[in-house]
């Protein structure tokens, strides 16, 4: 049997129009542009407007990716939306997307792996196609984190933003996704969570009054984990892909914090010019961060045919994942 090969055929992204700068946040909580810039590298973030939800941005990103790939929605066999902020708990946001796209042939489901969601979705969709599940898949990372942020909690509300990124995968003659690596450690589940609103703590007056429908995070512990795992996950996928780290043309890490990105790049000896950064413009957009960065890098001409691209992410769960892509 001929072994199937899978590549990324096109990417797309979308962010809300509304910009909230650090100076805007200074008027909302006890913080400063100086603190946010030096601790995180973030200068501004995009925030969804009235009536906009995760599927709003997922749809635009998906349409742009399909256009770039020159694939029509009817050709899709699978749609996976990675998100921690679905429009509703059910139906899946991917089903809402499938309806809007009129992707009549596609199976659809959501995937929740914190900020690593897109890398998880990419890896699973790639294996689905390789395993004979179909010929084309749409993978989206989309979030409206502004909806689950406590705008009175300065330790979290300054960090996150909204947006979406998407990629269309297809069977191909050339190998595009050389290797992926995924991992998790539920022992760190308590470090980053949204406590209420599901079966353990259903929504009640108490949960609302105690602000339990918002992101709770132990930033310091997540920071330490992130720095270590970004290096480990990158090295593992490099090994699986049978390449050397200095062959990587562009490093696209999860955009959570410039200090995490810089220390990971330093540990891996990846020079600054090979590291893609847009955290200053969007903050941490969780599942959307890596595909949004990937799409910007493509559209800015930073990725050429034949280039080796390394994606690496970490997030709530705890989870982590990496992917090595030949463009
Ligand atoms: N403005 C001003 N001061 C602040 C703010 C703020 N917005 N937030 C916290 N502070 C204060 C704290 O209260 C603390 O004051 P204290 O010393 O008087 O107690 C001081 O600043 C230092 O706080 P630290 O938490 O030690 O600051 P640190 O340098 O560790 O930076 C940060 C905090 C930015 C959150 C960092 O720990 C981080 O980036 N962690 C990783 C977070 C992350 O990546 N999360 C995403 C995970 S992915 C996912 O799935 C969503």
Is 284 labeled as catalytic in the residue annotation?
Answer: yes
**Protein residue whose Cα sits closest to atom 35 of ligand 1:** 219
Domain containing 49 — which CATH number?
3.40.47.10
Helix, strand or coil, per DSSP, at residue 175? coil
184 in the same domain as 284? yes
Helix, strand or coil, per DSSP, at residue 313? strand
Radius of gyration of the chain (CA): 19
162 in the same domain as 190? no
Contact 146, 129 (CB under 8 A): no
The one catalytic residue among 22, 157, 284, 298:
284
| Token pair 């979290």: residue | 156
Q: Are strands 107-111 and 78-82 parallel, antiparallel or unpaired?
A: parallel
Ligand 1 center–CA 158 separation, angstroms: 9
User: Token pair of 55, please?
Assistant: 């599927």
**Protein residue whose Cα sits closest to atom 30 of ligand 1:** 220
What is the spatial distance between Cα 238 and Cα 6, in angstroms, rounded to a whole number? 18
Closest CA to 125 of 67, 185, 65, 85: 65
Is 254 labeled as catalytic in the residue annotation?
Answer: yes
The predicted-structure confidence for 23-70, as pLDDT tens digits, reads as follows: 999 999 999 999 999 999 999 999 999 999 999 999 999 999 999 999
Closest CA to 256 of 303, 318, 181: 318
Identify the DSSP state of 3.
Answer: P
Q: Where are the alpha helices (DSSP H) in the chain?
A: 22-26, 33-40, 54-69, 93-101, 117-130, 154-157, 205-209, 219-240, 258-267, 279-282, 289-299
299 in the same domain as 184? yes
Q: Measured from the CA of 220, which atom of ligand 1 is nearest? A: 37
**Protein residue whose Cα sits closest to atom 1 of ligand 1:** 31
| Token pair 């769960």: residue | 317
What's residue 2's pLDDT?
54
Give me the phi and psi of 246, to 5 degrees please: -75, -5
138 in the same domain as 12? yes
Containing domain of residue 167, as a range?
Answer: 5-174
Q: What is the chain's mean pLDDT, rounded?
A: 97
The predicted-structure confidence for 163-205, as pLDDT tens digits, reads as follows: 999 999 999 999 999 999 999 999 999 999 999 999 999 999 9
Final residue belonging to a domain, choices 174, 201, 230: 174
Beta bridge partners of 322: 181, 312
189 in the same domain as 262? yes
126 in the same domain as 65? yes
User: Token pair of 57, please?
Assistant: 């941005």
Ligand 1 center–CA 30 separation, angstroms: 13
Contact 137, 169 (CB under 8 A): yes
Ligand 1 binding pocket (C-beta < 6 A) is 31, 35-36, 39-40, 114-115, 154-155, 158, 192, 217, 219-220, 222-223, 226, 256-257, 284, 286, 315-316
The one catalytic residue among 115, 157, 257, 298:
115
Ligand 1 center–CA 156 separation, angstroms: 7
169 in the same domain as 227? no
Final residue belonging to a domain, choices 153, 174, 195: 174
What is the spatial distance between Cα 100 and Cα 238, in angstroms, rounded to a whole number? 38
What's residue 38's pLDDT?
97
Confidence of residue 1 (pLDDT cuts 50, 70, 90): very low
308 in the same domain as 277? yes
**Is the predicted pLDDT of residue 136 greater than 80, yes or no?**
yes
Is 298 labeled as catalytic in the residue annotation?
Answer: no
Mean pLDDT, residues 207-223:
96
Helix %, strand %, coil % for the chain, to 5?
Answer: 40, 25, 35
The predicted-structure confidence for 267-319, as pLDDT tens digits, reads as follows: 999 999 999 999 999 999 999 999 999 999 999 999 999 999 999 999 999 99
User: Token pair of 109, please?
Assistant: 């489901």
User: Token pair of 288, please?
Assistant: 């959307």
Final residue belonging to a domain, choices 174, 208, 241: 174
- Ligand 1, residues 155, 262, 290: which to mutate, most atoms within 8 A of Cβ? 155
Ligand 1 center–CA 265 separation, angstroms: 21
Question: Quick check: bond before 91 cis, omega within 30?
Answer: yes
Contact 35, 119 (CB under 8 A): no
Ligand 1 center–CA 220 separation, angstroms: 7
Count of domains for the chain: 2
What is the spatial distance between Cα 279 and Cα 146, in angstroms, rounded to a whole number? 16
206 in the same domain as 68? no
Helix, strand or coil, per DSSP, at residue 103? coil
Q: Measured from the CA of 115, which atom of ligand 1 is nearest? A: 50
What is the spatial distance between Cα 164 and Cα 128, in angstroms, rounded to a whole number? 22
300 in the same domain as 245? yes
Q: Would you put residue 140 in left (φ > 0), alpha (ψ -120 to 50) or beta? A: beta
- Ligand 1, residues 26, 219, 254, 287: which to mutate, most atoms within 8 A of Cβ? 219
228 in the same domain as 124? no
Helix, strand or coil, per DSSP, at residue 148? helix
28 in the same domain as 112? yes
Q: Measured from the CA of 254, which atom of ligand 1 is nearest? A: 48
The one catalytic residue among 22, 95, 157, 254:
254
């Amino acid at each position: 049997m001929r072994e199937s090969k899978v590549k990324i055929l096109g990417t797309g992204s979308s962010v809300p129009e509304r910009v909230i700068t650090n100076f805007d946040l200074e008027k909302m909580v006890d913080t400063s542009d100086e603190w946010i810039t030096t601790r995180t590298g973030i200068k501004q973030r995009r925030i969804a407007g009235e009536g906009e939800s995760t599927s709003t941005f997922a749809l635009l990103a998906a349409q742009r990716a399909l256009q770039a790939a020159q694939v029509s929605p009817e050709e899709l066999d699978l749609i996976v939306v990675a998100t921690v902020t679905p429009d509703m708990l059910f139906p899946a946001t991917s089903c809402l997307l499938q309806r809007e796209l009129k992707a009549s042939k596609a199976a659809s489901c959501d995937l929740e792996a914190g900020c690593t969601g897109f890398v998880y979705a990419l890896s699973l969709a790639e294996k689905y196609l390789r395993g004979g599940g179909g010929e084309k898949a749409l993978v989206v990372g989309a979030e409206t984190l502004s909806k689950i942020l406590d705008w009175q909690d300065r330790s979290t509300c300054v960090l996150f933003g909204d947006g979406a990124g998407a990629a269309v995968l297809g069977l191909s003659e050339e190998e595009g996704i050389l290797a992926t690596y995924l991992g998790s450690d539920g022992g760190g589940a308590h470090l980053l969570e949204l406590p209420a609103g599901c079966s353990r703590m259903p929504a009640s007056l108490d949960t609302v009054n105690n602000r339990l429908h918002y992101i709770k995070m132990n930033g310091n512990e997540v920071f330490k984990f992130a720095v270590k795992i970004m290096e480990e996950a990158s090295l593992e996928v490099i090994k699986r892909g049978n390449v050397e780290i200095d062959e990587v043309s562009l490093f696209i890490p999860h955009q959570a914090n410039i200090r995490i990105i810089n220390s990971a790049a330093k540990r891996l000896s990846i020079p600054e010019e090979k590291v893609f950064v847009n955290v200053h413009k969007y903050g941490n957009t969780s599942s959307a961060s890596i595909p949004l960065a990937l799409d910007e890098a493509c559209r800015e001409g930073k990725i050429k045919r034949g280039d080796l691209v390394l994606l690496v992410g970490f997030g709530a769960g705890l989870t982590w994942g990496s992917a090595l892509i030949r463009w």
